[in-house]
């Protein structure tokens, strides 16, 4: 029988492998040898795939995950040693166990050639059935353990990814809770709770390092009239606009907070009386001369702000002292006509103002009640 006919018969006898059984590839150009090997291994309940040449064996290995290859050494075309080398040259199959089967030579040199080609074992023909089945069992068990380990690793990786995702989700949730605890939801500035905590900390630091500290409290002028005239949505837009200006014109070490309603506080570490007054005046002018806000395709009138300034240690030694002093100075700025900055003290003589009542973008400032 020709080699071609033998190979064709071999292909026809291969059935679709059972996924629950280990796959064994037996390679020999002699169909009788293939059938003998198949009969020897039949009791092991394996998927036995047969190949009649080295080339056919390489094609089968591309398609099927084998636990072991039993490879005849003497074959036309690619012999067993060349086929083993070709299998080993593929990175995907470099760990596939190969047992060389040979009846030609039992010399040490010939056996070593099999190992050098990549085989893990060498069996001499005629094959001892007990020895063959014992070796095949070992390699099949190793293959199953390898597959099990691979599945476990895959599951472990999946669980690790899930764990990391959960940790990341919890961190994000904690960050969100922290943000909500210390931030004002409308403006994104720090809230009053954070102000009280951080101000005490900055006061302690200033006392310890013997450096000044300033505090500015500012308030949107006539904000109630603005809300009544243009609506609360427009009012919220103004508050957000003021917040952005505060952040944009603050230093890294400054602490910008929404104190409540239309009131804001800016803590200025390391700032003395002169610089605090200049910072307040700069803010007042930036707000007064800023770009009008567009709402519902219309330009809203520019808002004005009044500012009260308090300093450590001039106006107290605690957070309550400074906030109270700045609040009183702010009230005096409102009472004096608004759109100005006032430093706290028994006689509020240090004020700055640059009112523009005739500006068409300004609110009506005839109402003199503090607001």
Full 3-state SS string of 41-98: HHHHCCEEEEECCHHHHHHHHHHCCCCEEEEECCCCCCCHHHHHHHHHHCHHHCCCCE
Given a cut of 60, whether residue 87 has pLDDT beyond it is: yes
Q: pLDDT value at position 106?
A: 61
C-alpha to C-alpha distance for 224 and 232, rounded to whole angstroms: 9
Given a cut of 70, whether residue 152 has pLDDT beyond it is: yes
Q: Is 27 helix (H, G, I), strand (E, B) or coil?
A: strand
Q: pLDDT value at position 363?
A: 38
In the structure, what pLDDT confidence band is assigned to residue 28 with cuts at 50, 70 and 90?
very high
Please, what is the Cα angle at 318 between 276 and 268, to 5 degrees? 25
In the structure, what pLDDT confidence band is assigned to residue 348 with cuts at 50, 70 and 90?
very low
Residue 365 DSSP code: -
Of 87, 101, 94, give the one whose Cα is nearest residue 34: 101
Region for residue 295 given its phi and psi (left: phi exceeds 0; alpha: psi -120 to 50; beta: otherwise): beta
In the structure, what pLDDT confidence band is assigned to residue 7 with cuts at 50, 70 and 90?
very low
Given a cut of 50, whether residue 29 has pLDDT beyond it is: yes
More confident residue, 239 or 365: 239
In the structure, what pLDDT confidence band is assigned to residue 324 with cuts at 50, 70 and 90?
very high
266 and 310 in contact (C-beta within 8 Å)? Answer: no
In the structure, what pLDDT confidence band is assigned to residue 33 with cuts at 50, 70 and 90?
very high
Given a cut of 90, whether residue 187 has pLDDT beyond it is: yes
The burial class, CB within 10 Å (0-12 / 13-18 / 19+), for 334 is buried
Of 336, 291, 345, 339, give the one whose Cα is nearest residue 314: 345
Q: pLDDT value at position 14?
A: 58
Average model confidence (pLDDT) across the chain: 86
> Strands 305-312 and 213-220, how do they pair?
antiparallel
Q: pLDDT value at position 358?
A: 34
Q: pLDDT value at position 97?
A: 93
Q: pLDDT value at position 67?
A: 92
Q: pLDDT value at position 267?
A: 97
Average pLDDT (278-304) is 90
Q: What is the largest CA-CA distance in the chain?
A: 121
R_g of the chain, CA atoms, integer Å? 43
C-alpha to C-alpha distance for 48 and 28, rounded to whole angstroms: 13
**For 125-197, where are the E strands, in sequence order?**
none
Residue 67: count other Cβ atoms within 10 Å of its Cβ.
22
| H/E stretch holding 338 | none
Name the least confident of 1-10, 68-77, 212-221, 257-266.
1-10
Residue 253: count other Cβ atoms within 10 Å of its Cβ.
11
Average pLDDT (242-258) is 95
104 and 110 in contact (C-beta within 8 Å)? Answer: yes
Of 274, 278, 280, 261, give the one whose Cα is nearest residue 326: 280
The burial class, CB within 10 Å (0-12 / 13-18 / 19+), for 187 is buried
In the structure, what pLDDT confidence band is assigned to residue 226 with cuts at 50, 70 and 90?
very high
C-alpha to C-alpha distance for 194 and 200, rounded to whole angstroms: 10
Q: What would the pLDDT profile of 91-139 be if each residue is shown by its tens digit?
A: 888 889 999 998 766 666 677 787 888 888 888 888 899 999 999 999 9
Given a cut of 90, whether residue 353 has pLDDT beyond it is: no
Of 329, 145, 306, give the one whose Cα is nearest residue 222: 306
299 and 292 in contact (C-beta within 8 Å)? Answer: yes
309 and 214 in contact (C-beta within 8 Å)? Answer: yes
Domains in the chain, CATH or no CATH each? 3-149 (3.40.50.2300), 192-353 (3.30.70.270)
Average pLDDT (17-22) is 76
Residue 198: CB partners within 8 Å, gap ≥ 6? 190, 255, 267
């Amino acid at each position: 029988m020709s080699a071609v006919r033998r190979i064709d018969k071999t292909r026809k006898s291969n059935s679709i492998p059972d996924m629950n059984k280990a796959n064994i590839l037996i390679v020999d150009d002699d169909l009788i040898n293939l059938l003998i090997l198949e009969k020897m291994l039949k009791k092991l309940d394996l998927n036995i795939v047969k190949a009649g040449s080295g080339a056919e064996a390489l094609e089968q290995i591309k398609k099927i995950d084998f636990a072991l290859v039993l490879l005849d050494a003497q074959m036309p075309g690619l012999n067993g040693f060349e086929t083993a080398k070709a299998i080993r040259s593929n990175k995907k199959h470099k760990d596939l166990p190969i047992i060389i089967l040979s009846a030609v030579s039992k010399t040490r040199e010939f056996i070593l050639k099999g190992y050098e080609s990549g085989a893990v074992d060498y069996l001499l023909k005629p094959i001892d059935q007990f020895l063959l089945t014992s070796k095949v069992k070992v390699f099949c068990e190793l293959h199953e353990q390898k597959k099990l380990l691979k599945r476990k690793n895959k599951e472990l990786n999946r669980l690790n990814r899930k764990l990391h995702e959960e940790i990341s989700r919890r961190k994000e949730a904690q960050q969100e809770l922290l943000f909500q605890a210390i931030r004002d939801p409308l403006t994104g500035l720090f809230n009053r709770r954070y102000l009280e905590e951080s101000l005490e900390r900055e006061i302690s630091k200033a006392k310890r390092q013997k450096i000044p500290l300033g505090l500015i409290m500012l308030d949107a002028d006539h904000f109630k009239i603005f809300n009544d005239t243009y609506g609360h949505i427009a009012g919220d837009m103004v508050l957000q606009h003021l917040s952005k200006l505060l952040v944009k014109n603050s230093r890294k070490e400054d602490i910008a907070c929404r104190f409540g309603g239309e009131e804001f506080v800016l803590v200025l570490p390391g700032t003395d009386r002169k610089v605090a007054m200049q910072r307040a005046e700069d803010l007042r002018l930036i707000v007064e001369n800023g770009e009008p806000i567009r709402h519902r395709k219309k330009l809203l009138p520019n808002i004005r702000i009044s500012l009260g300034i308090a300093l450590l240690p001039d106006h107290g030694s605690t957070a309550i002292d400074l906030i109270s002093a700045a609040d009183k100075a702010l009230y005096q700025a409102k009472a004096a006509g608004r759109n100005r900055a006032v430093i706290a003290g028994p006689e509020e003589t240090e004020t700055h103002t640059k009112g523009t009542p005739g500006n068409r973008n300004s609110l009506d400032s005839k109402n003199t009640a503090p607001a």
